[in-house]
Amino acid sequence: MAKIRKAIKGIGKEYFKTISTMLTTAFGLVAALAWNEMVKKFISEYITPGEGMKSQLIYALFVTTLAVIIAVWLGSIAKKFDEEEEKKDGK
């Protein structure tokens, strides 16, 4: 009986983690779309109208650079969390 309760608690935790991840991803998408519009307006404001290809290139380079910087930053944070978790498990 205790094993069943533990299994149910485990399922509850996994369910919560999954829903939490889905909601976080959804809010992240909304934020990304908002930033997308802001960056587009910023570039169209400061790039001469009629230079569509140039403004798209600047936009693509900016977004790619930003994505790489954020991915590296988040990766280093995740690595620190993993190292802390390993230290806790090792003791």
Show the tokens assigned to 64: 């790619």
Extract long-range pairs of 12-21: CB within 8 Å, 24+ residues apart: none
- pLDDT tens across 26-83, in order? 998 999 899 888 888 887 787 766 677 887 888 888 888 988 998 899 889 888 888 8
Give the relative orientation of helices 52-90 and 2-46 as an angle to the nearest 10 degrees. 150
d(CA 2, CA 10) in angstroms, rounded, equals 12
User: What is the predicted pLDDT for the residue at 42?
Assistant: 81
**DSSP 8-class letter at 48:** -
d(CA 87, CA 91) in angstroms, rounded, equals 6
Flag whether the pTM goes above 0.85: no
Specify the residue for token string 């109208």: 49
d(CA 57, CA 90) in angstroms, rounded, equals 49
User: What is the predicted pLDDT for the residue at 49?
Assistant: 66
Domain residue ranges in the chain: 1-33, 47-91
